[in-house]
């Protein structure tokens, strides 16, 4: 059962308990053909006020006698989900959640036990059984990826679950933005699959790419920690799936979890070292060596073995490579033309294939030596 479902169940129980003077009250939940009984304590006055201010109904709860009793009466409510193996939360936990404003009661109908709070909207037609199974498998896969995210390693499962339930699944096609430059009030995106590029643009149209984010990766957390607007824009390089977590929920998780703080520090330190190395290469390395290193990075992250080498599954333009390295496109064109003649790489169907990856590696190694 989702936290929101349990919260709404306790709220409904409070209405009966208050009038009857009961410390606990049985609640029968009817959802999707299942009928189950649970007993819950009434929550605080603050929680009752939250229920009174909420609106909308998509299911019904039987409040009063257990299942099978003719005295049971139907009370409209949000959608409730029940599972026998999940205990009801304590009144203290309920009050803490309400005070922290983690639960949006008006959106409780969309909260499920396995999916984020606001998933993609369903079409008007009811899905077939095969589609339902595919959806369930996809949701389970997404949930497993989220919980296995490196930054969440060692973090209390309850904290990760709150982040996941508050999140919203978003999908981006190649070329779409996750967010634009100088946007404010950014959320945090958990990149589950795909890749994105951090890009900076000058007023005269020149562009510079500073970082490639490959799944699994966090996006937007640096700006959140620094309380800053977006530094550059994030453009999707390949079809990507993300879970968008509200900034307030992620900030609360940081305050609650020292392990999450430690993991974020490690992640930021690694990105800082990478940035320093990029600055060193920009100042001291020849353009050919930097280009060879960039193509190697693309091959490692997005390479697919083919009969004549390694195919980079991203469409790389000479202008894009020049922007990534911060150099003139003519320099990229000269190096690429020479490598094409030497058979180090070739182009097919718009994609770059590294026929002799070792030759590019030798260029990088010679610079490092």
DSSP letter string over 195-219?
EEEEEEE-TTS-EEEEEEEESSEEE
| Domains of the chain, earliest start first | 3-109 (no CATH), 150-282 (2.60.120.10), 285-368 (1.10.10.10)
The predicted structure's pLDDT at residue 258: 95
- So what's the pLDDT on residue 369? 55
The rounded distance, in Å, linking the Cα atoms of 266 and 151 is 9
Is the Cβ–Cβ distance between 33 and 65 less than 8 Å? no
> What's the confidence (pLDDT) of residue 85?
37
Cβ atoms within 10 Å, residue 329: 14
- pLDDT in 10s for each residue of the chain, 369 residues: 444 444 444 444 444 444 444 444 444 444 444 544 544 444 455 444 544 444 343 333 333 333 333 333 333 333 333 333 334 444 444 444 434 433 332 333 333 333 444 344 334 444 556 666 788 888 999 999 999 999 999 999 999 999 999 999 999 999 899 999 999 999 999 999 999 989 888 887 777 778 888 899 999 999 999 999 999 999 998 899 999 999 999 999 999 999 999 999 999 999 999 888 888 877 888 999 999 988 998 898 888 999 999 999 888 889 888 888 888 899 999 999 999 999 999 998 888 999 999 998 888 877 765
CA distances, 348 to each of 33, 302, 303 (Å): 55, 16, 14
Half-sphere exposure of 21 (CA within 13 A, CB side): 0
Q: What is the pLDDT of residue 45?
A: 54
Q: In what order do the strands lie in the sheet with 345-348?
A: 303-306, 309-312, 351-354, 345-348
What is the Cα–Cα distance from 179 to 219, expressed in whole angstroms?
10
Q: What is the pLDDT of residue 203?
A: 82
pLDDT at 35: 46
Query: What pLDDT is attached to residue 161?
Result: 95
For residue 32, what pLDDT is reported?
Answer: 47
- The structure tokens 């009984």 sit at 37
State the pLDDT at residue 140: 92
């Amino acid at each position: 059962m989702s936290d929101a479902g349990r919260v709404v169940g306790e709220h409904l129980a409070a209405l009966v308990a208050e009038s009857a003077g009961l410390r606990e009250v049985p609640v029968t939940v009817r959802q999707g053909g299942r009928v189950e009984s649970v007993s819950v304590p009434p929550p605080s006055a603050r929680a009752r006020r939250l229920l009174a201010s909420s609106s909308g109904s998509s299911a019904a709860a039987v409040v009063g006698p257990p299942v099978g009793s003719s005295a049971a009466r139907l009370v409209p409510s949000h959608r409730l989900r029940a599972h026998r193996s999940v205990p009801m939360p304590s009144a203290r936990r309920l009050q803490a959640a309400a005070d922290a404003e983690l639960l949006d009661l008006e959106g409780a109908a969309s909260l499920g036990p396995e999916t984020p709070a606001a998933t993609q909207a369903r079409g008007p037609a009811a899905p077939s059984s095969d589609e339902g199974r595919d959806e369930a498998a996809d949701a389970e896969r997404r949930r497993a990826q989220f919980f296995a995210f490196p930054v969440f390693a060692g973090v209390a499962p309850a904290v990760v679950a709150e982040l996941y339930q508050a999140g919203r699944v978003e999908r981006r096609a190649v070329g779409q933005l996750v967010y634009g430059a100088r946007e404010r009030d950014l959320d945090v995106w958990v990149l589950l699959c795909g890749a994105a590029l951090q890009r900076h643009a000058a007023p005269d149209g020149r562009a510079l790419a500073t970082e490639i984010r490959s799944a699994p990766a966090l996006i937007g957390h640096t700006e959140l920690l620094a309380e800053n607007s977006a530094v550059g824009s994030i453009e999707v390089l390949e079809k990507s799936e993300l879970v968008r977590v509200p900034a307030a929920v992620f900030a609360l998780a940081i305050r609650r979890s020292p392990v999450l703080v430690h993991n974020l520090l490690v992640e930021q330190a690694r990105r800082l070292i990478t940035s320093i190395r990029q600055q060193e290469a920009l100042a001291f390395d020849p353009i050919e060596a930097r280009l060879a290193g960039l193509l190697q990075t693309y091959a490692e992250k997005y390479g697919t073995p083919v009969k004549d080498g390694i195919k980079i599954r991203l469409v790389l333009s000479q202008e894009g490579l020049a922007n990534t390295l911060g150099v003139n496109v003519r320099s990229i064109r000269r190096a690429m033309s020479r490598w094409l003649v030497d058979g180090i790489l070739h182009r097919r169907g718009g994609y770059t294939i590294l026929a002799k990856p070792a030759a590019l590696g030798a260029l990088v190694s010679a610079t490092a030596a």
